[in-house]
A and B are shown apart, each in its own frame.
Chain A
Amino acid sequence: MAKVLMKGNEAIGEGAVRAGCRYFFGYPITPQSELPHYLAKRLPEVGGVYLQSESETAAINMVYGAAGAGARVMTSSSGPGISLMQEGISYLAGAELPCVIVNMIRGGPGLGNIAPAQSDYFQATRGGGHGDYRVIVLAPASVQEIIDLMRLAFDLADRYRNPVMVAGDGILGQMMEPVELGEEEDVQIPPRPWAATGRMGGEKKLINSLYIVPEELEQHNLKLARKYALIASKEQRWEEYRLDGARLVLVAFGTVARICKAVVDRCREEGLAVGLIRPITLWPYPQKAFEPLMGKVDSFLVVEMSLGQMVEDVRLAVNGRHPVHFYGRCGGMLPVAADVVQEVKKLYGGEGN
C-alpha cells in the first residue's frame, strides 16, 4: 500500500472511522480542531453522525447516551475541555461504558496556552473525576502509531467495558507524517447485550452508576477493582530502545520520547550506555518494563513536558532500588535534545547513581 501524508489530528479521525466508530460528539478547541473538521466531512460519508455539542459537558454526556445505546463512539478535546468532561468520565466508568476520549494536551493550568504539553498526565492517569475508577490511557508517538492505537483503543474499550483515553499533544496533532493506512477492514463490533436499546420484547437493561445501598456499591467497586487488576496485568505496553547494557535509562512518552531517541543515539555515539523506555500505556503503567533492569542499571532519567508527573510512576515501578531523576520543560516549551544530553552527562556515572 502506498503511503499518504497525514496530520496527526486527521489520523485520529481516520483511525477511528477504520475502527468502526460512527459517532462523534465534541466542542471546538485548539490544538485538536482538525479532528472535528475531518470527521464533519468524513462521518457523513460512511453514514455516521458528527455533532457539535454546546459544551464539553454536553459532549461527554452525549457519549454516555450513545455508548449506553450500544454505539462505538468518541469525543475529543484538550485541557480545559477535558477538565469539563471529568464528571461524565466518572459516570462512564461507573456505568462501565466503552468509549474513546482524545486529549491533545496543551499548556495549563487554567486557560494556559495552546502549545504542546504533557501536564495532564495526573488528570489522565489518576482520574480528574470523583470515585474509585480507572481509565485506560494510550500515548502514541507518531502519526502512524495513532492509526494503530485508535483501533486498539476501541477494542480495549469494548473488551473491558471501560473508557479509554488517547493522550497526545499539540505537536502530534498538528504534524504531518507519512502513514500506511492498509486495507480498510470490515470491523465487527462485539455484541453488546448490556446496551439499553429498548426492550423489544427482551429483558430490561439499565445504564446506571447509582448504588444507594453501601453493601452494593462496595461490591460494585470491588468488581471494578478486579477488572482494573486484570487490565493492569494484561495490557501494559511499552517500547524499548537500545536498552542493551544501558547504565542510564531515559523514560519518556509521546513527542518527548522521539526527542529522547535522538538523545540515546547521540550518547551512544559518544560511548555512553544510554537507553530508553517509552510507555505506550500510561495506565496501566508498564511496570513490567522496569523489572528486568533492576540491579543492572545505575539510574533513570524521566523526561517530560511538565514539571514531573510521570516521574512518580517511575519511582513506584523502581520502588527505591535505583535513583530516579527528572528533567522537564513546561508551559508549551519542548525539551531540546542537546539539553537532555547535557543532563545525561551530569548524571552519568556520577555520585549517588
Chain B
Amino acid sequence: MKKVFTRPRSLKDIPTHYCPGCTHGIVHRLVAEVIDELEIFDRTIGVAPVGCSVFAYNYFDCDMFQASHGRAPAVATGIKRVLPDRVVFTYQGDGDLAAIGTGEIVHAAARGEKFTVIFINNAIYAMTGGQMAPTTLLGQKTTTTPYGRDKDINGYPVKISEMLSVLDGTAYVARVSVHDPAHVIKARKAIKRAFEVQLAGLGFSLVEVLSACPTNWGLSPAEALKWLAENMIPYYPLGEYKKPAEVG
C-alpha cells in the first residue's frame, strides 16, 4: 500500500522550533517534496537567512549555508557561479529580502542569476519580536508601529513579486499562499516550476509565499489563517506574475 504521509528525504526527522500554527513548516515541507520529486537532493545547496527560518539549515538535509541578514542572494550568486551545475535556493523572510537585502535581491534578479528564491511574506519581523516589516499592511499594529502603520511616516507596503517581475533578468515569479489545502497544492506547483526553471537554465526564479505568524500577529492559528486570507491576499494578489514560454 502506498504511504501518504511520509517525510520527504530532504527534510531531517527532527522537531522544528516553529510556533504552533506557523506556516514556515509547511513551506519547508513543500520545498523538500519538490527537491525529492525532481531527484535533485544530492546536488542541491540551500542558503538560510537571518529570521525565524534561520535554523532551516538544520531542517533541510541537503548542504546548507547560513548567510548574514539580507545577503543570501549574494551568497547564492557566489555558490552558483562556482558550481553552475548544482541546484541552489535561498529561503528568505520579508525583512531579510525586502528591507535590508533589497539591494542583493534586485541585483541578483537583474543579473538573471540561475537560482531559486523562496520568499516568506508574513508582514512582520517575527524573529526579533514583531516589528514592522516592509510588507506590513497599512494600519497594521506592530511593536514599532504602535499606532498602526501610517503611510505618511512609513510609506507603503513593498510588493516584491510585482517589482521583480518587470526586470528582464527574472524568468519565473509567482505569489502563492498556504492558508488552506487548496492553496497549499497551488503553492507546491509554483515551487516546482521555479526549480524547473532553474534546472532548464532559464534564469532567476522566485516564489513569494504569503505566510502566517500567529505569535506576532497576536492571533490563534485559525484566526491567523483567516486574517491572511482576508487582509493580505487583497493587497498581495496571488498568481504567476511571470513565466517563460517553455513552461506550460
Contacts and interface: CB of A to CB of B under 8 A. Distances in A.
Nearest to A41: B146
B198 to A, nearest CB: 27
B58 interface: no
Contact of B128 (A30, A55, A110): A30
Interface string A35-55: 011001100100000111011
B220 interface: no
Contact of A110 (B68, B125, B146): B68
Given A52-B144, A111-B68, A33 B129 contact: yes
Contact of A54 (B50, B66, B134): B134
B99 interface: yes
B153 A51 contact: yes
A37 B144 contact: yes
Nearest to B100: A55
Contacts of A41: 146
A8 B68 CA distance: 27
Interface in B125-165: 125, 127-129, 131-132, 134, 143-147, 153-154
Contact of B131 (A36, A51, A54): A36
A28 B144 contact: yes
A37 B127 CA distance: 15
B131 A52 contact: yes
Given A33-B129, A80-B69, A54 B102 contact: yes
A40 B66 contact: no
B169 interface: no
A290 B147 CA distance: 51
Given A40-B143, A52-B131, A52-B144, A28 B125 contact: yes
A30 B130 CA distance: 12
Interface in B61-114: 66, 68-70, 95, 99-100, 102
> Interface on chain B toward A: helix, strand, loop, or mixed SS?
loop
B91 to A, nearest CB: 15
B99 A55 contact: yes
Contacts of A28: 95, 125, 128-129, 131, 144
Interface in B2-41: none
Nearest to B128: A28
Contacts of A40: 143-146
A29 interface: yes
- From B99, B125, B129, B144, name the one whose CB has the most chain A CB atoms within 10 angstroms: B144
Nearest to B54: A111
A31 to B, nearest CB: 10
Interface residues of A, number: 19
B147 A44 contact: yes
A92 to B, nearest CB: 20
A27 interface: yes
A52 B125 CA distance: 12
Nearest to B103: A55
- From A27, A44, A51, A110, name the one whose CB has the most chain B CB atoms within 10 angstroms: A27
Contacts of B69: 80
Contacts of B100: 27, 54-56
B112 to A, nearest CB: 24
A80 B129 contact: no
Interface string A14-34: 000000000000011110010
B68 A80 contact: yes
Contacts of B153: 51
Contacts of A29: 128
Contacts of B102: 54
Nearest to B101: A55
- From A36, A44, A52, A56, name the one whose CB has the most chain B CB atoms within 10 angstroms: A52
A339 B50 CA distance: 35
Nearest to B127: A30
Given A28-B125, A29-B128, A55-B100, A36 B68 contact: no
B69 to A, nearest CB: 7
A27 B96 CA distance: 12
Contacts of B154: 51-52
A44 B150 CA distance: 13
B66 A111 contact: yes
A55 B70 contact: yes
Contacts of A54: 99-100, 102, 134
A88 B102 CA distance: 19
Nearest to A51: B153
A89 B85 CA distance: 42
A37 B129 CA distance: 10
B122 to A, nearest CB: 14
Contacts of B143: 33, 36-37, 40
Nearest to B66: A111
Interface in B193-219: none
13 contacts: A27-B99, A28-B131, A33-B129, A33-B131, A36-B131, A37-B131, A37-B144, A44-B147, A54-B134, A55-B99, A110-B68, A111-B50, A111-B68
Given A28-B144, A54-B134, A56-B100, 12 more contacts: A27-B100, A28-B128, A28-B129, A33-B129, A37-B131, A37-B143, A37-B146, A52-B131, A52-B154, A55-B70, A55-B99, A55-B100
